[in-house]
Amino acid sequence: MISVKSGLDILLESQSSKLNKMRIGLIANHSAVDYTGNHIVDRLSELSNLSIVRLFAPEHGFRGEAQDMESVGSTKDLKTGLEIVSLYGEKEDSLKPNPEHLKDLDAIVFDIQDVGARYYTYANTLAYTMQVAAKLNIKVFVLDRPNPIDGIHIEGSPLLNDFHSFCGYTPIPNRHGLTVGELAIVFKKGLAIGGGDVTGIDCDLEIIKMENWNREMIFDETALPWVFPSPNMPTLETALVYPGGCLFEATNISEGRGTTKPFELLGAPYIDAEAWRDKSIELYAQLTQKEPSDFFLRPTSFCPKFQKSADESCFGVQIHLINRKSKFSYKLCLAMIAAAKSLWPESFAWRKEAYEFKDELSPIDILYGSSSYRLQLESNPEDLTKIKKEIDEFEEKFLEKRTEFLLY
């Protein structure tokens, strides 16, 4: 097995001089570790040529303890005594750093493990920070890490201008196939595709690249330690199904939070497991023009201990991966939601509560990137031909565009 060196490993090994005499703010969480599992704060504190002034915490907090969409307050780090500024508070304006917290810095260092999905908020924290740093002329360093679900496959639908949010900053696919360093380049250059134009952020940006990573790798081929980057992302398998599984957050179907298999276990009290499996496979074949071979759906039941249907028996399926180096999650879960809408129209419901600080948009529209999927299901959930065309055309356009952002 080839041992991949993360951007943090490379910085410590040979490039720490780039931070010489700098006062830095560190955006990180518990996933920012070197190849032996030592945390970035501990490692940078060993260096005499820089000063860590302040820590910044993304969603879930600096130590990754908070649940999804749970506001995190500013505090002090118990180990170091450093101030921790939350970038995920109670209001939308908390998502950007206050300029007052940056003006005494020379640079910002970003190091968090991403999972390769458009909705995952850590990279969007980086984009919002780059906007503020650009105005203050503060340099941003990104310590790159692997895309854990590979850098080859993409899956997704267009993100239109009116549907941008903290879980969809720029019109990349729902599974984008980029590293966080490459995402930073997208943010800097800007991207116009499929009606979701985003202008670039003119900040002083430097990526500390990895070594020995190639685009075909999934995370367990890197020899790096998997530190689950958020409470409901415990394993690589979770990350592989998340690009589709996250869509269930916009429904009254449990996405398996409150179980040991989030995003792999999907179900609700009103579902007939075998009927749902069969209809889902039927609609998946319509979206892909092929029979499933990279996964199978196993009818099952489960009882979440928190969030949706807490302490209730849910009936549904577990997604079992056969070929982890494939793509299927996004279209599969679109098909599964359509199947539930078709089979149980009186019981199925879209989420109505605000989602990622947006209460004027339907959560499914935020996640899909437009209203077309929701409107199609409300009209005829068994006809997904328009959705297939929309996705296929968008993926083809993005594959042509993304070459200018690639580092590896």
Across residues 357-373, what is the average pLDDT?
96
Mean pLDDT score, 56-68: 82
Instruction: Kindly report the pTM of this predicted structure.
Output: 0.96
> Average pLDDT for residues 362-367, to the nearest whole number?
98
Tokens 């170091």 correspond to 80
Query: 56: helix, coil or strand?
Result: strand
Model pLDDT, residue 66: 66
In the prediction, which pLDDT does 322 show? 97
Longest dimension (CA), the chain: 64
pLDDT tens track for 319-351: 999 999 999 999 999 999 999 999 999 999 999
Query: DSSP strand E in 244-389: where?
Result: 265-268, 295-302, 314-321
- Phi, psi values for residue 38, rounded to 5°: -80, 135
Percent of residues, the chain, with pLDDT higher than 70: 99
Contact in structure between 283 and 383 (CB atoms under 8 Å) = no
Amino acid making up residue 182: E
Average per-residue pLDDT for the chain: 95
- pLDDT for the residue numbered 227: 97
State residue 133's pLDDT score. 97
pLDDT tens-digit readout, 312-321:
999 999 999 9
Which pLDDT band holds residue 77 (cuts at 50, 70, 90)? confident
Overall residue count recorded for the chain in this entry: 408
Per-residue pLDDT reduced to its tens digit, 7-38: 999 999 999 999 999 999 999 999 999 999 99
86 pLDDT higher than 90: yes
352 by Cβ neighbours in 10 Å (0-12 / 13-18 / 19+) ranks as exposed
Q: pLDDT at residue 122 above 80?
A: yes
For the chain, what percent of residues have pLDDT higher than 90?
89
Nearest CA to 329 out of 146, 118, 160, 60 is that of: 118
For range 276-285, the mean pLDDT:
98
Q: Tell me the pLDDT band of 1, cut-offs 50, 70 and 90.
A: low
DSSP states of 40-53 as a string? HHHHHHT-TTEEEE
- The per-residue pLDDT for 70 is 72
Strand 205-208, strand 265-268: pairing: unpaired
Res. 307: pLDDT tops 80: yes
**Whether residue 73 has pLDDT greater than 90:** no
Backbone angles phi, psi at 114, to 5 degrees: -90, 170
Instruction: Return the closest-CA partner of residue 179 out of 155, 203, 214.
Output: 214
Question: Rounded to whole angstroms, how far apart are CA atoms 300 and 124?
Answer: 35
- Ordered structural domains, the chain, with CATH: 7-229 (3.40.50.12170), 236-397 (3.90.1150.140)
The pLDDT, as a whole number, for residue 79 is: 83
Statement: residue 395 has pLDDT above 90:
yes
Asked whether residue 206 carries a pLDDT value surpassing 70, the answer given is: yes
